[in-house]
Structure 1
């Protein structure tokens, strides 16, 4: 049962990260800001998502 739960949580986390990346890509921020936010989200998924939630581009 541990593998199924871990796999499901991993899938949910992947969906959240993809959603955040799409929100960054569609935002009105500059190209450099978008690239930096996407790199942060990809390289530091947990911390990057928390930082993006509070400080990321809005809109």
Structure 2
């Protein structure tokens, strides 16, 4: 049961990460690469995105 809840949390965080990537000021190619990283490696990709990914649209002002 705990793994189901953990899976839902990771899914929600991945969806948030993809949304944040798509609304960031990064180039189209960078958005595609970040999205693929998060989709193909959900946990590791999420951690890498959190540490080094493109920031939100409001942060690029």
The normalised TM-score by structure 1 is 0.87
Calculate the aligned-residue CA RMSD, in Å. 0.9
Deviation at 1:33, TM superposition (A): 0.3
Structure 1 stretches of at least 4 aligned residues deviating more than 3 Å after TM superposition: none
How many residue pairs are counted as aligned between the two chains?
56
Structure 1 residue runs of 5 or longer lacking an equivalent are: none
Cα distance in 2, alignment partners of residues 58 and 13 from structure 1: 19
Q: Which deviations, in whole Å up to 9, do the C-alpha atoms of 1:12-54 show, x marking residues without a partner?
A: 1100100000000000101000000000001111111111111
Aligned counterparts of 2:40 and 2:29: Cα–Cα separation in 1? 16
Structure whose alpha-carbon radius of gyration is higher: 1
> More relative contact order in 1 or in 2 (CA 8 Å, sep 6+)?
2
Q: Which runs of 5+ in 2 are unaligned?
A: 57-61
